[in-house]
Each structure stands twice: as structure tokens, then as C-alpha cells.
Amino acid sequence: MRILCLIVVACMVSGCGEERVMRRTMVMSEYSIGASSINGDGSVTFRLAAPEAQRVSVSGDFISAADGTAFGGGEMVRNGDGVWEYTTLPLASELYTYSFNVDGVRICDPTNGHISRNVSTLSSELIIGGGRGDYYRVNDVPHGTVRSCWYHSDSYGCDRRMMVYTPPGYESGGRYPVLYLLHGAGNDEGSWLELGRVEEIMDNMIARGECRPMIVVMPNGNAFKQAADISAAEGTALEWSDRKPLNPMLEVSFAEVVDYVDGTFRTVDGKRGRAIAGLSMGGGQTSIISYSLPDTFDYVGLFSAAVGAVTDEQNDAKIKAQRDNGLKLYWIACGTEDFLYDGNRQYMSYLDSIGFPYVYCESDGGHIWRNWRIYLSEFAPMLFRK
């Protein structure tokens, strides 16, 4: 009954990925990043005009194309025009985030319009194409629709915001399966789009026939928030926590999310048409939601999930019921450097002990968005195939 599959990082990061490299359908100039530039060999020259600054450096989550090692940037050198420069090694195809430090102050690249927010930290972004990074770009393929909408939650007693991706062609009719995608602690309903590149990944994979067209629903998973801080009524977070300290968690109220989505969008009804996945806190929620609503999801994905040994008797009984009820895929992915790695091993030991079938996918790296984008692009192709 058990399916235990170790997929090594070489397959995840290079093997499978290489087969899926987006062909360029038109001659494209490189992704513009302002005064800085992506060079022909995949190296990046960062530039910042700061004639009066004393010291400037660049930091990023770079990976060498030559040997796959990570490096973090370095000191920039001032040229005669007062422009500070730094050129990286040739970089592996990926989406990178970076920032400058000017006399001790961390800043985004002021000439690059591509920025993202991780919790409360803003960073600049760039994409090196020619490989995995092509999944994260806007390419010349049919595009889905992304909407920001609000549903009413009876258990929270308020409206809450969610982001929804519908695939190209949705407007023409038909019913579509749904992937519910949950974020981590500190993130919000916009994080999977902004940092996880869901719109680009889905557009590109659907265009190449690598995954089925599907709806992707990204709710807010924080118990005390209606929406991301920048999209919420001011003071909401504070007020809710003051007034309703026992507010229901997302796990308890998740049936409301499913009901809203089934009532608002043309969905494939029943568990065969539903998947749920989440990262970190959202991975823990995915575990709980999927066994608390055992007839709801045929596909479950735990990405660097906040899980551990299962010792509670009630939870043990629910997970066994989920096992007996059957589902098509229970997929667990974690990086070897993740601080939740041991918790995931304990969780899988428990699943092994009760004969719960799952697939395990181990990558390198830690608790980072690069891994979660990779996990999504590995998970999505397995959904709604049968």
C-alpha cells in the first residue's frame, strides 16, 4: 500500500526542469532591470548611481551556473562617474531577489520596477532565462485571469480577501478543477502570486500542456486578519485579536472557502476536482484541513510543512480515516537544509507506521521561496490526471 519515492534534487532542479524549458516563440530582449544589466553569459552587472555614498554593496540569493553553488553578492566599486558596480558570476536560470546597501541602509534597486514584498521586506527581482527561470516570466502565451475578491466568513464574522487564478479559456465555459494554495506565517493572500509566481507558472505550464487547466485559489491563512495589511481596513489585525482572541483558525473555517469557490466559479464538483497544498504554516494547515474534511480533496501537497510527530489520539484517528477513505496523491516535499526537515521526517515516520501512502520529494536548500516555486511546478503536473 505504501508508495515511497525519493526524488533527488538533480532530477527536480535540472532533470525534469530541462525538459520543460520554455521555447522562445519570439526574439526577446532580456528582462529589463533598469540601470543594472543581464549580460550575454548570464552574469549580472549591478549599477547604482551614488556619488556621495561611502560604501555600497549588493546582496542576493544567487546561484552559480557553473557549479550550482550559492553566493550572496559583494562590495560594489565606485567608478569615475560616481556609479557603483558589481558583476556576478554567470548565474543559473532562476528568479533572484536582491537589494543594495548604501552606507548601512538596505534599499531596493531604484531603477528596477520589478519588486516583491516578503512579509514586510521589499526586494528587487530579476530573472535569468534559458531554463527554470522561464517558468517565472511573462511569456507570449495565453494568459489566465487573476482576481482579488472578498468572501463572507460566518465563522470569522467578516469579509475576507482571496486571490483567484482562472486559466485561459475559463470565460468560454466549462468546469475546472481547483487547487487551493496556502501561504506561510507572515505571508498573505498575495504572496503566492508575488513571490510564488503562480500566474506565470500556471500560464506557462498550461501553454505547454504540462499541467491541466485549473483554478488556483489563494486565501488569507492568518487567523486574525481579513486581508494583507496593505489591503485591509486599518487596524483590523489589532482589533480582531483584541476582540476575538478565540477566532476560528483557517483549518476550522475552510469549508466556507470551498463553499464560496464552488458557488462563485464553475468548478468540478467533488474530491476528484480538488487539490490543496501549502507551504510552512500553510503546509501544516493543509495536513489538518485535508484530514478534517476527508471527502474534500483527492490531492494533497505539503511544501516544507510545519508538521511533526502525530501524538494526539483524535488526530491519529482522523488521519487513519483519511487513509481508509483513500486519495490519489499525498505529496511531501522538503529541503535538506530546512529547519522543518526533522519535523517532516517525524511526520513521515508516523505515516509509515500507519501505512499511509505518500510520495516524498527531497530537494536541497532551506525554507525559501525558490524551493516553493519548484515544488509547485513539480506538484501541479500530477493533479487531475485520472
Where along the sequence are the contacts to a second copy (CB under 8 A)?
26-32, 34, 48-55, 102-108, 110-111, 113-115, 117, 120-122, 129, 137-140, 142-143, 145-150, 158-159, 161, 168, 171, 227, 229-236, 238-239, 264
Q: Is the Cβ of residue 107 or residue 368 nearer to a second copy in the bound state?
A: 107
Q: How far is the CB of 57 from a second copy (least distance, A)?
A: 12
**Cα 347 to Cα 86, 157, 284, distances in angstroms:** 44, 34, 11
Q: How far is the CB of 175 from a second copy (least distance, A)?
A: 17
Q: How far is the CB of 125 from a second copy (least distance, A)?
A: 9
Among 377, 355, 359, 375, smallest CA distance to 367 is for 375
R_g over Cα of the chain: 22
Residue type, 288: I
Q: Is the Cβ of residue 159 or residue 312 nearer to a second copy in the bound state?
A: 159
Give the β-pairing of 105-107 and 37-38: unpaired
Q: How far is the CB of 26 from a second copy (least distance, A)?
A: 6
Among 41, 204, 230, 34, smallest CA distance to 133 is for 204
Q: Is the Cβ of residue 107 or residue 268 nearer to a second copy in the bound state?
A: 107
Q: Is the Cβ of residue 159 or residue 342 nearer to a second copy in the bound state?
A: 159
The answer to whether 122 touches 116, Cβ cutoff 8 Å, is yes
Among 164, 160, 152, smallest CA distance to 226 is for 160
| Residues contacting residue 32 through CB under 8 Å, at least 6 positions apart | none
User: What φ, ψ does residue 12 adopt, rounded to 5°?
Assistant: -65, -45
Cell 485549473: give the residue: 214
Bridge partners, 101 (sequence order): 57, 106
Q: How far is the CB of 129 from a second copy (least distance, A)?
A: 8
Q: Is the Cβ of residue 5 or residue 235 nearer to a second copy in the bound state?
A: 235
Q: How far is the CB of 290 from a second copy (least distance, A)?
A: 27
Q: Is the Cβ of residue 125 or residue 298 nearer to a second copy in the bound state?
A: 125
Q: Is the Cβ of residue 121 or residue 336 nearer to a second copy in the bound state?
A: 121
Cell 488526530: give the residue: 315
DSSP states of 127-174 as a string? E--SSGGGGGS--SS---EEEEEEEEETTTTEEEEEEEEE-TTGGG--
Indicate the angle between helix axes 281-292 and 250-264, nearest 10 degrees: 70
Q: How far is the CB of 231 from a second copy (least distance, A)?
A: 6
